């Protein structure tokens, strides 16, 4: 039940919480007495890890598996790779169509002119919600057209043509798996852990495998994107279908539905809002992959962004980043509006009164084709009319980095010497058996044997893989980043949750930072903090503060109103209301936020490898350049398991807190 | 019983699904696939190579790709030609792809590449004796950082470029540590920030690239490279260690092609056999974009206009 916990109960619970630390502390304290295999796992990579065996040769196993799938001929006819290769060719079919529509043109007929796309976006915006959405849609594509001095328009069309294929594909695959899992418990038991792994696996770890089995180019980019984007759809499908009330199902049975009709006519429509939220998530995930998909051949904004960055053209890269954000926000808002769109009554009257939007669309299509045949300028804005503000941006970045370099240099050296290096040394001095004991004890405390054994198995995998030493460095960076994220995100969330306007502003900021390609702030980070752990952690913090801020706001604003009223009538001051009522009630949500922050940090720590860190990310890049698919995947799993361990523990803790606070679930 | 039936149905469906596109696109070897990476000379060069292939009537497709992953793709037949294989950066990946037997080492350009330690010129004012490596070593404390334990910091390339900088530091007994950047961009960001403040910095750099046009600087002169330096410990200033020398000042720049390239595109193969970029060619291709601010296709056109006599020979 809600309310303060009596003091008598509090004391032993504090002690209780410390209990799982005891074996860990003892093992660490008596480290000199431990045998050497208990401190660093045997056969681990210590310095540079060229080829490393590990306690259990996972890497060799995966590579043998890949080799088998490449060369073993099923029925002596074709290999698994032949199957995947022809699936890839199948993806080329819709891709050819969207590419032709958006930028290649169909032989004699050109691609869609920019005036047509802008016009259509305005009409769709008006139809779905009103003039503000129309302004966003039209404005976004106008930006793409206007800022096209360096070809942003065509690059965006390339990106959009891939997105137009990946989004439906990911949504359909996610939906089908979700339905299967919601219907059959046994499938769900396999699917749920798979989703967890897929969502926490660093992208770089499966790029080589995608390249081997699906080739390279736009189609491979689509496949890598789909792998990353479909899990949220599956999750939300499972959730949506499970939450349908039994009355609805019974009504379906009474109406004599077959199983197919039940699914198609009853269940899917009832789960509509969850499914559309899933589609929404798929869109955001697909856009998050724009840059990474270009590693295996996706043309478009992502590849250009990387090129500009490698040549230190930050201003130009920034313009491309803005294009990605605008596309993401536009697609997001349009898909949300589509969910919330209520069916309208058709007015009586002539055709243009009954179907005003259809008429407008027809008019725009005819008009823009007419315009396009008159002047090239309607097809693609001529270069003379396009602009770029990249030189001003460059000057601004230069000004900021040079004027802040010296003061931040003092901060950098202070942090390095007094905070980061000691923390790193502390992490590195922990024997691996001690870490495993700690994780096991916490698991036992929260979920008894089942949870304890699961998380201990996760930790053991990392130790046995041979990458323990590197994983500890990753863990240290994530841990430090997590502390800083919480120190920034929680106060920010508290501040923002107080007023509606602030909430809106901060959430908008969160959206922007989440879709802005994170590669862009790696280089300014280096300019400010040099190649050091500080710049890597800075980049992680910029990105990973988002979820903890979001969840804090969400938790604080969603405290049940009866509780707030009860607190008010008992005479709480504003301060008491925050610290004694809202914060404790929001605590479970904040734990989930912390969990998400960790996931974001693990994602970003891999990207921070581009700065130059001596952790797992460096080894993933090494694997990437030596085409070592097995090593990439195994290191990826190590990263993923760090995330899953924390995920299991934090989610379980959050659930228990929720129960204690009386949130029924 | 029903389980086998189910498997059979799924199998049949899968087979149908896979057979369909196989038929639909039986002839996918029609276009030549040229990779594009993320530095200017390669991008312009790829466009030039593509234009030349078009002139002999081939169809081409540009595939943006990571410059290391591309060698796996070329071995798999997904990429037909890599026209800028740098010895220093991609020698290892290229050699590995040659070992598969699916890639051919077609030719070596006239252009030579140099990759080594490099510093911006203003450092010479505070550290006399440069570019000699011994002078650099004497100034090592100038390059020290809070977390380097009093040693100078050298910003090296990404670990997968397989430089032996750490071995070199050890063999020459230098008071330096190697800190590997994660990408070329990170090296330039270090240089840019340091140059703005005229702070000492020593980085891994190579030529030709755009840095030469933007910042004045020099390569550090180590003991001249000799093949024996990397194979025979007794050679050089340190009789007990390998790598007691600089990198080769004349690294190769090669063209690699897939083994089926000749069979599938005989006309383009003939052109590729004739191609040869000189050092100034590579420099110009980079400079059109990096200093003159041309876009890649414009830069390629510019190069083609200026060197007509040269490429006319190649497509004969």
DSSP codes joined into one string, A168-219? HHHHHHHHHHHHHHHH-HHHHHHHHHHHHHHHHS-GGGTHHHHHHHH-SSHH
Indicate yes or no: CB of B93 within 8 angstroms of CB of A417. Answer: no
All residues of chain A having their beta carbon less than 8 Å from the beta carbon of residue B79 are 216
Of A312, A612, A626, the CB nearest to B180: A612
Mutate to test the interface with B, among A215, A290, A297, A383 (most CBs of B within 10 A): A297
Of B69, B158, B184, the CB nearest to A296: B69
pLDDT for the residue B29: 58
| Token representation of residue A303 | 């590849």
Indicate yes or no: CB of A417 within 8 angstroms of CB of B146. Answer: yes
pTM of the model: 0.84
pLDDT for the residue B3: 53
Per residue in A302-358, pLDDT (tens digit) is 988 988 888 888 888 999 999 999 999 899 888 888 877 777 777 777 777 777 888
For residues B134 and B146, give the distance between their C-alpha atoms in angstroms, rounded to a whole number. 23
Residue B65: pLDDT above 90? no
Kindly indicate the confidence band of residue A586, based on its pLDDT and cuts at 50, 70 and 90: confident
Average pLDDT over residues A53-71: 84
Indicate yes or no: CB of A617 within 8 angstroms of CB of B290. Answer: no
For residues A483 and A492, give the distance between their C-alpha atoms in angstroms, rounded to a whole number. 14
Q: Is position B160 within any domain?
A: yes
Q: Where a domain ends, among B172, B196, B230?
A: B230
Q: Which of A402, A612, A613, A418 is nearest to A528 (CA)?
A: A402
All residues of chain B having their beta carbon less than 8 Å from the beta carbon of residue A625 are 68-69, 92-93, 160
Residue A145: pLDDT above 60? yes
pLDDT for the residue B18: 46
Contact at 8 Å (CB) between B75 and B102?
Answer: yes
Indicate yes or no: CB of A92 within 8 angstroms of CB of B146. Answer: no
Q: Which of B119, B207, B125, B130 is nearest to B155 (CA)?
A: B119
Question: In Å, how far is A312's CA from the nearest CA of chain B?
Answer: 6
Indicate yes or no: CB of B193 within 8 angstroms of CB of A617. Answer: no
Share of chain B above pLDDT 70, in %: 91
Q: Same domain for B108 and B215?
A: no
- How are strands ordered across the β-sheet holding B253-258? B81-86, B253-258, B103-108
Q: Which of A511, A515, A509, A540 is nearest to A525 (CA)?
A: A540
**All domains of chain A in start order, with CATH:** 88-111+155-341 (1.10.3720.10), 405-661 (1.10.3720.10)
All residues of chain B having their beta carbon less than 8 Å from the beta carbon of residue A528 are 193
Q: Is position B21 within any domain?
A: no
Q: In chain B, whose CA is at the least distance from the CA of A296?
A: B65
* Segment (H or E) for B156: strand B152-156
All residues of chain B having their beta carbon less than 8 Å from the beta carbon of residue A402 are 193, 196-197
Indicate yes or no: CB of A312 within 8 angstroms of CB of B189. Answer: yes
Share of chain B above pLDDT 90, in %: 35
Which range, of A335-344, A635-644, B3-12, averages the lowest pLDDT?
B3-12
Give how far Cα A315 sits from Cα of A21, A98, A305, A396, Å.
49, 30, 10, 9
Q: Is position B66 within any domain?
A: yes
Of B68, B182, B192, the CB nearest to A312: B192
Q: Who's near A138: CB < 8 A, 6+ residues apart?
A: A118, A119, A121, A122, A125
DSSP codes joined into one string, B230-245? GT-TTSSS-TT-S--S
Per residue in B244-271, pLDDT (tens digit) is 888 877 788 999 999 999 999 999 999 9
Mean pLDDT of chain B: 84
All residues of chain B having their beta carbon less than 8 Å from the beta carbon of residue A295 are 65-66, 69
Strand partners, B108: B254
Question: In Å, how far is A616's CA from the nearest CA of chain B?
Answer: 12
Residue B156 — φ and ψ, nearest 5°? -90, 170
Of A86, A150, A626, the CB nearest to B18: A86
Average pLDDT over residues A231-254: 87
Q: In chain B, whose CA is at the least distance from the CA of A620?
A: B160
Question: In Å, how far is A470's CA from the nearest CA of chain B?
Answer: 14
Q: Same domain for B219 and B134?
A: yes
Contact at 8 Å (CB) between B300 and B286?
Answer: no
Q: How far is CA A114 from the centre of its chain?
A: 31
Q: Where a domain ends, among B230, B264, B286?
A: B230
Q: Who's near B20: CB < 8 A, 6+ residues apart?
A: A90
All residues of chain A having their beta carbon less than 8 Å from the beta carbon of residue B72 are 208, 211-212, 627
Q: In chain B, whose CA is at the least distance from the CA of A617?
A: B182
Looking at residue A106, what DSSP letter applies? B
Q: Same domain for B86 and B146?
A: no
Per DSSP, the three-state class of A71 is helix
Kindly indicate the confidence band of residue A13, based on its pLDDT and cuts at 50, 70 and 90: low
Q: Same domain for B86 and B44?
A: yes
Contact at 8 Å (CB) between A555 and A585?
Answer: yes
Q: Same domain for B125 and B213?
A: yes
Give how far Cα A325 sits from Cα of A36, A149, A278, Å.
51, 18, 19
Kindly indicate the confidence band of residue B20, based on its pLDDT and cuts at 50, 70 and 90: very low
- Angle formed by the axes of helices A152-183 and A185-200, nearest 10°: 150
Per DSSP, the three-state class of B255 is strand
| Token representation of residue A332 | 């997001």
Which position has the higher pLDDT, A54 or A621?
A621
Residue B12: pLDDT above 70? no
Helix intervals (H) in chain B: 2-24, 40-55, 69-75, 87-99, 123-126, 133-138, 165-171, 184-197, 211-214, 261-264, 266-274, 279-290, 296-306, 308-314
For residues A47 and A37, give the distance between their C-alpha atoms in angstroms, rounded to a whole number. 17
Q: Who's near B163: CB < 8 A, 6+ residues apart?
A: B88, B115, B156, B157, B204, B247
Which range, of A263-277, A412-426, B109-123, averages the lowest pLDDT?
A263-277
Number of structural domains chain B divides into: 2
Q: In chain B, whose CA is at the least distance from the CA of A96?
A: B25
Indicate yes or no: CB of A524 within 8 angstroms of CB of B189. Answer: yes
Q: Is position B303 within any domain?
A: yes
Indicate yes or no: CB of A531 within 8 angstroms of CB of B146. Answer: no
pLDDT for the residue B174: 92
Residue B203 — φ and ψ, nearest 5°? -125, 170
All residues of chain B having their beta carbon less than 8 Å from the beta carbon of residue A421 are 147
Q: How far is CA A535 from the centre of its chain?
A: 21
Indicate yes or no: CB of A216 within 8 angstroms of CB of B65. Answer: yes
The strand pair at B114-120 and B202-207 is best described as antiparallel
Tokens 């030719």: give the residue. B107
Q: Is position B24 within any domain?
A: no
Q: Same domain for B82 and B106?
A: yes
Question: In Å, how far is A167's CA from the nearest CA of chain B?
Answer: 21
Residue A2: pLDDT above 50? no
What's the 3-state SS for A316-379? HHHHHHHHHHHHHHHHHHHHHHHHHCCCCCCCCCCHHHHCHHHHHHHHHHHHHHHHHHHCHHHC
Of A406, A413, A624, the CB nearest to B146: A413
Mean pLDDT of chain A: 86
Give how far Cα A371 sits from Cα of A359, A376, B222, B299, Å.
18, 8, 65, 31
Q: Same domain for B212 and B132?
A: yes
All residues of chain B having their beta carbon less than 8 Å from the beta carbon of residue A622 are 159-160
Q: Same domain for B136 and B219?
A: yes
Strand partners, B104: B257
pLDDT for the residue A12: 52
Of A89, A211, A307, the CB nearest to B43: A307
All residues of chain B having their beta carbon less than 8 Å from the beta carbon of residue A306 are 38
Indicate yes or no: CB of B193 within 8 angstroms of CB of A309. Answer: no
Question: In Å, how far is A578's CA from the nearest CA of chain B?
Answer: 42
For residues B178 and B243, give the distance between their C-alpha atoms in angstroms, rounded to a whole number. 15
Of B14, B147, B185, the CB nearest to A309: B185
* Segment (H or E) for A104: none
pLDDT for the residue B27: 38
Residue A65: pLDDT above 70? yes
Indicate yes or no: CB of B193 within 8 angstroms of CB of A625. Answer: no
Contact at 8 Å (CB) between A114 and A364?
Answer: no
Residue A54: pLDDT above 90? no
Which range, of A488-492, A656-660, B218-222, averages the lowest pLDDT?
A656-660
Indicate yes or no: CB of B182 within 8 angstroms of CB of A90. Answer: no
Q: Same domain for B37 and B57?
A: yes
Q: Is position B129 within any domain?
A: yes
Residue A466 sits at the vertex; the CA angle it makes with A465 and A472, to the nearest 5 degrees, is 100
Q: Same domain for B167 and B177?
A: yes
Indicate yes or no: CB of B181 within 8 angstroms of CB of A626. Answer: no
Kindly indicate the confidence band of residue A9, based on its pLDDT and cuts at 50, 70 and 90: very low
pLDDT for the residue A140: 93
* Segment (H or E) for B180: strand B176-180
Could you tell me the CATH number of the domain that includes residue B52? 3.40.190.10
The alpha carbons of chain B give a radius of gyration, in whole angstroms, of: 24
ipTM for the complex? 0.82
Indicate yes or no: CB of B24 within 8 angstroms of CB of A89. Answer: yes
Q: Which of B61, B56, B52 is nearest to B32 (CA)?
A: B61
Per residue in A408-429, pLDDT (tens digit) is 889 999 999 999 999 999 998 8
For residues A327 and A335, give the distance between their C-alpha atoms in angstroms, rounded to a whole number. 12
Q: Same domain for B215 and B143?
A: yes
Residue A295: pLDDT above 60? yes
Residue B206 sits at the vertex; the CA angle it makes with B203 and B209, to the nearest 5 degrees, is 115
Could you tell me the CATH number of the domain that includes residue B128? 3.40.190.100
Mutate to test the interface with A, among B47, B145, B160, B193 (most CBs of A within 10 A): B193
Query: How many A/B residue pairs have CB atoms within 8 Å?
Result: 189
pLDDT for the residue B4: 55
Q: Which domain holds residue B162?
A: 114-230
Average pLDDT over residues B19-39: 64
Q: Is position B16 within any domain?
A: no
Indicate yes or no: CB of B186 within 8 angstroms of CB of A611. Answer: yes
All residues of chain B having their beta carbon less than 8 Å from the beta carbon of residue A523 are 185-186, 188-189
Indicate yes or no: CB of B146 within 8 angstroms of CB of A416. Answer: yes
| Token representation of residue B77 | 């037949």
Kindly indicate the confidence band of residue A664, based on its pLDDT and cuts at 50, 70 and 90: low
Tokens 């005819």: give the residue. A366
For residues A515 and A325, give the distance between their C-alpha atoms in angstroms, rounded to a whole number. 5
Contact at 8 Å (CB) between B142 and B126?
Answer: yes
Average pLDDT over residues A382-386: 80
Mutate to test the interface with A, among B147, B149, B170 (most CBs of A within 10 A): B147
Question: In Å, how far is B316's CA from the nearest CA of chain A?
Answer: 30
Q: Is position B56 within any domain?
A: yes
Which range, of A379-383, A572-576, B109-113, averages the lowest pLDDT?
A379-383
All residues of chain A having their beta carbon less than 8 Å from the beta carbon of residue B290 are 311
Per residue in A80-135, pLDDT (tens digit) is 888 888 888 888 889 988 988 888 888 777 888 888 899 999 999 988 888 999 99
Average pLDDT over residues A430-452: 89
Q: Same domain for B56 and B203?
A: no
Indicate yes or no: CB of B73 within 8 angstroms of CB of A216. Answer: yes
């Amino acid at each position: 039940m809600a309310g303060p916990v009596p003091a008598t109960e509090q004391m032993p619970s504090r002690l209780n919480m410390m209990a799982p630390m005891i074996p860990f502390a003892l093992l660490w304290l008596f480290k000199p007495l431990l045998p050497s295999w208990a401190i660093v796992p045997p056969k681990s990579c210590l310095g540079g890890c060229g080829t490393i065996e590990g306690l259990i040769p996972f890497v060799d196993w995966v590579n043998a598996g890949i080799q088998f799938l490449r060369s073993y001929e099923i029925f002596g006819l074709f290999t698994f790779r032949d199957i995947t290769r022809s699936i890839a060719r199948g993806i080329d079919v819709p891709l050819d169509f969207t590419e032709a529509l958006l930028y290649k043109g169909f032989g004699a007929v050109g691609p869609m002119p920019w005036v047509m796309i802008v016009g259509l976006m305005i009409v769709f915006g008006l139809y779905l919600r009103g003039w503000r959405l129309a302004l966003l849609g039209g404005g976004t594509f106008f930006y793409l057209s206007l800022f096209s001095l360096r070809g942003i328009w065509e690059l965006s069309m390339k990106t959009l043509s891939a997105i137009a294929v990946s989004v439906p594909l990911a949504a359909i695959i996610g939906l089908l798996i979700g339905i299967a899992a919601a219907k059959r418990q046994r499938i769900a038991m396999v699917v749920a852990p798979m989703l967890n792994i897929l969502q926490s696996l660093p992208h770089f770890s499966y790029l080589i495998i995608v390249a081997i089995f699906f080739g390279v180019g736009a189609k491979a980019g689509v496949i890598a994107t789909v792998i990353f984007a479909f899990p949220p759809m599956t999750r939300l499908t499972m959730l949506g279908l499970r939450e349908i009330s039994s009355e609805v199902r019974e009504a379906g049975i009474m109406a004599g539905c077959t199983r197919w009709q039940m699914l198609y006519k009853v269940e899917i429509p009832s789960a509509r809002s969850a499914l559309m939220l899933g589609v929404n998530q798929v869109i955001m995930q697909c856009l998050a992959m724009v840059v990474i998909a270009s590693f295996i051949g996706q043309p478009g904004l992502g590849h250009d962004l990387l090129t500009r960055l490698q040549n230190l053209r930050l201003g130009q890269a920034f313009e491309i980043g803005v294009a990605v954000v605008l596309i993401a926000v536009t697609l997001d808002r349009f898909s949300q509006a589509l969910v919330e769109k209520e069916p309208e009554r058709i007015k009586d009257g002539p055709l243009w009164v009954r179907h005003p939007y259809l008429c407008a669309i027809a008019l725009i299509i005819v008009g823009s084709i007419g315009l396009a045949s008159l002047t090239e300028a309607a097809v693609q804005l001529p270069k003379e009319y396009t602009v770029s503000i990249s030189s001003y941006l460059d000057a601004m970045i230069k000004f900021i980095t040079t004027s802040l370099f010296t003061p931040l240099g003092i901060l950098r050296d202070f942090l390095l010497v007094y905070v980061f290096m000691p923390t790193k040394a502390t992490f590195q001095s922990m024997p691996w058996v001690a870490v495993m004991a700690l994780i096991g004890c916490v698991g036992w405390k929260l979920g008894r044997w089942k949870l304890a054994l699961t998380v201990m198995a996760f930790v053991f995998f990392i130790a046995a893989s041979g990458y323990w030493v590197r994983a500890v460095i990753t863990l240290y960076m994530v841990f430090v980043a997590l502390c800083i994220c919480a120190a920034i995100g929680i106060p920010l969330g508290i501040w923002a949750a107080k007023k509606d306007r602030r909430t809106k502003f901060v959430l908008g900021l969160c959206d922007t930072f989440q879709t802005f390609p994170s590669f862009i702030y790696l280089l300014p980070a280096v300019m400010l903090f040099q190649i050091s752990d500080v710049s890597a952690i800075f980049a992680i913090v910029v990105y990973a503060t988002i979820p903890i801020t979001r969840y804090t706001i969400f938790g604080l604003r969603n405290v049940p109103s009866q509780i707030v009223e009860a607190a008010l009538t008992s005479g709480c001051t504003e301060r008491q209301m925050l610290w004694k009522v809202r914060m404790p009630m929001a605590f479970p949500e904040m734990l989930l936020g912390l969990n998400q922050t960790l996931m974001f940090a693990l994602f970003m720590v891999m990207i921070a490898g581009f700065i130059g860190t001596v952790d797992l990310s460096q080894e993933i890049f090494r694997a990437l350049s030596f085409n070592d698919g097995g090593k990439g995947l195994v290191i990826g799993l190590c990263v993923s398991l760090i995330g899953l361990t924390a995920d299991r523990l934090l989610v379980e803790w959050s659930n228990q807190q929720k129960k204690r606070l009386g949130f029924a679930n | 019983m029903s389980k086998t039936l189910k498997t059979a149905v799924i199998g049949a469906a899968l087979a149908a699904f896979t057979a369909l596109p196989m038929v639909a696109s039986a002839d996918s070897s029609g276009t030549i696939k040229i990779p594009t990476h993320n530095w200017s000379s390669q991008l312009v060069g790829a466009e030039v190579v593509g234009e030349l292939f078009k002139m002999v009537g081939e169809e081409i497709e540009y595939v943006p790709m990571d410059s290391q992953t591309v060698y796996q793709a070329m071995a798999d037949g997904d990429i037909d030609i890599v026209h800028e294989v740098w010895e220093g950066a991609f020698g290892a990946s290229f050699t590995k792809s040659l070992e598969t037997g699916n890639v051919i080492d077609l030719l070596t350009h006239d252009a030579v590449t140099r990759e080594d330690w490099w510093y911006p010129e203003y450092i010479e004012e505070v550290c006399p004796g440069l570019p000699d490596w011994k002078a650099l070593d004497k100034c090592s404390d100038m390059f020290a950082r809070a977390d380097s334990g009093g040693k100078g910091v050298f910003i090296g390339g990404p670990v997968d470029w397989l430089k032996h900088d750490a071995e070199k530091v050890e063999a020459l007994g230098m008071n330096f540590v190697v800190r590997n950047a994660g990408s070329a961009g990170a090296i330039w960001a270090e240089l840019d920030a340091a140059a703005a403040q005229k702070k000492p910095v020593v980085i891994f750099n190579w030529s030709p690239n755009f840095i030469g046009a933007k910042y004045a600087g020099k390569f550090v002169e180590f003991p001249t490279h000799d093949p024996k330096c990397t194979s025979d410990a007794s050679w050089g200033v340190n009789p007990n260690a390998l790598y007691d020398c600089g990198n080769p000042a004349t690294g190769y720049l090669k063209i690699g092609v897939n083994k089926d390239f000749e069979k599938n595109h005989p006309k383009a193969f003939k052109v590729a056999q004739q191609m040869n970029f000189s050092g100034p060619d590579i420099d110009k291709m980079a400079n059109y974009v990096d200093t003159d601010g041309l876009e890649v296709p414009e830069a390629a056109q510019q190069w083609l206009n200026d060197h007509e006599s040269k490429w006319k020979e190649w497509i004969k």
